[in-house]
Amino acid sequence: MTADPVPSVLALGPVLPVVVLGETRPAEAVPLVRALVAGGLRAVEITLRTEGAVEAVRRVAAEVPRAVVGAGTVLTPEQAVAARAAGARFLVSPGWTDRLLAAARDTGVPLLPGVSTASEVMALLERGVAEMKFFPARAAGGPAYLRALASPLPGARFCPTGGIGPDSAADYLALPNVPCVGGSWMLPPDAVRTRDWDRVEHLAREAARLGAAAVAETVADTGGGAEGRTGSGTGTGTGGGTGGGDVSAGGPCR
């Protein structure tokens, strides 16, 4: 049975691990994701950049029930359908087309479409999509660019991804329109290649602490609650279902 989609991708937590399998076999995604979950990062994006990625999503969905697995680098309606059939509970794309938005709506799975310009943000808001991926984050202007968008486009919320590491994640999470960041810094290639899952778990735990601390500091500075950062969880315009209520485990981070 396919798990329910999540109501909001941005509400999954402040740090979203981005898994690029490379030469890693689909079966090895299971212990990798188990290590991330053990470290406190339950939501995981597996990118569809390799031949076995959909199978990896399927295995993780079936064998790691505590994980909230999504599919990234979703470029076509066909990939959206395949990812959902494999058990993906959310979708992420580096960009968007109207066909892709429609396909995501049809699957009932929330899509986080990619943007890098104000015009793209406006076009998505016009289509009822308020949650977006900002990509490639560092190359497209980094925290300064997103800070500049906050005032004229207050309805948009972002998950920046691309060139983000432990030294820059907090700068993004300090922004009022950034509830989460995506990255792979907790998955160093040598650790994945040698199957050093203890190291992955350790780095995941550090990332979870970093994300939780950044959000707590921002909430304290603004005197508000986390709700203002994550939104209601119903504004993506591409999602459906109400079965994502189990994605939090002890706080907004995981």
CA dist., res. 245 & res. 224, Å (int) = 22
* pLDDT band, residue 223 (cuts 50/70/90): low
Which residues have a catalytic role annotated?
45, 133
Place of tokens 């076009």: 123
The pLDDT assigned to 118 comes to 98
Per-residue b/e over 121-138, b at no fewer than 16 CB within 10 Å? beebbeeebbbbbbbbbb
Mean pLDDT of the chain: 88
Q: Residue 159: in which H helix or E strand, if any?
A: strand 157-160
17-62 pLDDT, tens digit each: 999 998 889 999 999 999 999 999 999 999 999 999 999 999 999 9
The predicted structure's pLDDT at residue 149 = 98
Residue 78 belongs to domain spanning: 10-230
Predicted pLDDT of residue 214: 79
Domain count, the chain: 1
Question: Is pLDDT above 80 for 87?
Answer: yes
pLDDT greater than 60 at residue 247: no
pLDDT in the model for residue 224: 55
- pLDDT grade for 229, boundaries at 50, 70 and 90: low
What is the rounded CA–CA span in Å between residue 140 and residue 211? 22
Question: Is 243 among the domain residues?
Answer: no
Residue 31 lies in a domain: yes
CA distance 58 to 82: 10
Mean pLDDT of 229-241: 43
What is the pTM (predicted TM-score) of this model? 0.86
Sign of CA pseudo-dihedral 247, 158, 51, 104: positive
Which CATH number characterizes residue 210's domain? 3.20.20.70
pLDDT confidence of residue 216: 80
* 59 in a structural domain: yes
pLDDT category at 239 given cuts 50, 70, 90 is very low
The arithmetic mean of pLDDT across residues 108-113, rounded, is 96
Residue 46, in any domain of the structure: yes
Q: Is there a domain that residue 253 lies in?
A: no
d(CA 45, CA 71) in angstroms, rounded, equals 5
Q: Is residue 90 part of a domain?
A: yes
Does residue 230 register a pLDDT over 50? no
**Which tens digit of pLDDT belongs to each residue from 163-207?**
999 999 999 999 999 999 999 999 999 999 999 999 999 999 999
Q: Residue 26 falls within a domain, yes or no? A: yes
Question: Which tops the pLDDT comparison, 130 or 241?
Answer: 130
Query: Is 38 domain-assigned?
Result: yes
